[in-house]
Amino acid sequence: MSTLSEKLQTPVEDTARRARPPAPVLSVRDVRISDRAAGREIVHGVSFDLTPGRTVGIVGESGSGKTLTCRAALGILPAHFEVTGGSIELDGRDITGFSPAEWTSLRGSTISAVFQDPASYLNPSIRVGAQVAEVIRVKQKAGRRAARRRAVELLRAVHLRDPELVCGQYPYELSGGMLQRVLIAAAIAAGPRVLIADEATTALDVTVQAEILDLLADLRERTGLALVVVSHDLAVVAQLCDEVLVLRQGEVVEQGPTQEVLHHPRHEYTRLLIAEHEQYGLDRFLAPEEDA
């Protein structure tokens, strides 16, 4: 098994990847998720295939079921929620029969995730370096010293300046953008094949958001990571994704290649999203200046 740091040094050849059609690492088939307590279905059938090095985007307003779909793929649905229809295959295996121990071994090393509000996803009383190293120590059975060395390498790989210093700092000492980088480093520490970025850039300001998106694209190019990008922001999806799903109230209202969906939206909700972007986005205010 090649570690991520090795992968980082030997970029996957783009042509080699395209040559043979690879098997999907994450395959979601008509997944339905229900709230058992309320007795109603929240997500009504979501399907997509994700192959290494590709990116699927899920767009939609809050409460549309984006996060639930991701959590189902990670096996961390909240209490009362369960997958009531369809199937999710992770690396060719159906997740329904997974025992807690199997989940533990798959998470981190096959599928991993980063979320909105990175500060809350790191333990406030443990140095960030130790939190990244912990993943390497546990998932790759590395020694304490080797794990620490690799944690520093990872922090360097996510473009953190002065990774040695950052390693010894607590989450409260770092900014939001730095924390999201640390979170990404921890998520990719055990070399997962799928990374879910659930609103990973939502809480960050625009320049930092662009840097994080560049980082994710960079990781995808270098390691063949498959990405699921969840966002309510079309700009994020446009920048990163090959395929887009538009979710509304648990229903997939539009699905297809990103360019297709953005330029020729068929469903009125997608048109609304794009129109709103045109209406409220900065582009509208910048346009006259360019004309002049």
Should residue 100 be labelled a site residue for other proteins when binding is judged by CB under 8 A? yes
**What residues form DSSP beta bridges with 93?**
90
Contact letters for other proteins, residues 58-97 (x by CB under 8 A): ----------------x-x---------------------
Tokens of 256: 């297809």
Q: Does 26 bind other proteins (CB under 8 A)?
A: no
* Closest to 245 measured CA to CA, from 226, 265, 275, 218: 265
| Residues that contact other proteins, how many (by CB under 8 A) | 36
Q: Binding of other proteins at residue 105 (CB under 8 A)?
A: yes
Among 33, 43, 68, 113, binds other proteins (CB under 8 A): 113
Q: Does 187 bind other proteins (CB under 8 A)?
A: yes
Question: Among the candidate windows 19-27, 130-138, 252-260, 281-289, which touches other proteins by CB under 8 A?
Answer: 130-138
- Separation between Cα atoms, residue 11 and residue 84, nearest integer Å: 40
Give yes or no for residue 193 binding other proteins (CB under 8 A): no
Contact residue for other proteins among 42, 122, 227, 247 (CB under 8 A): 122
* Alpha carbon distance 249, 44 (integer Å): 9
Alpha helices in 141-280 (DSSP H): 144-157, 163-167, 176-188, 206-223, 234-240, 258-263, 268-280
Q: Which residues are CB-neighbours of 127 under 8 A, at least 6 positions away? A: 167, 168, 169, 170
> CB-side exposure of 169: number of CA atoms within 13 Å?
17
Q: Which amino acid is at 241?
A: C
- Binding residue (CB under 8 A) for other proteins from 165, 206, 282, 287: 165
Q: Which is nearer to other proteins, 112 or 201 (CB)?
A: 112
Closest CB 123 distance from other proteins, rounded Å? 5
Q: Which of 58, 90, 183, 227 binds other proteins (CB under 8 A)?
A: 183
CA distance 99 to 215: 33
Assess 10 for contact with other proteins (CB under 8 A). Answer: no
**Of these, 72, 151, 190, 197, which contacts other proteins (CB under 8 A)?**
190
Which residue's structure tokens are 């607590």? 170
- Rule CB under 8 A: choose which of 11, 63, 143, 168 binds other proteins: 168
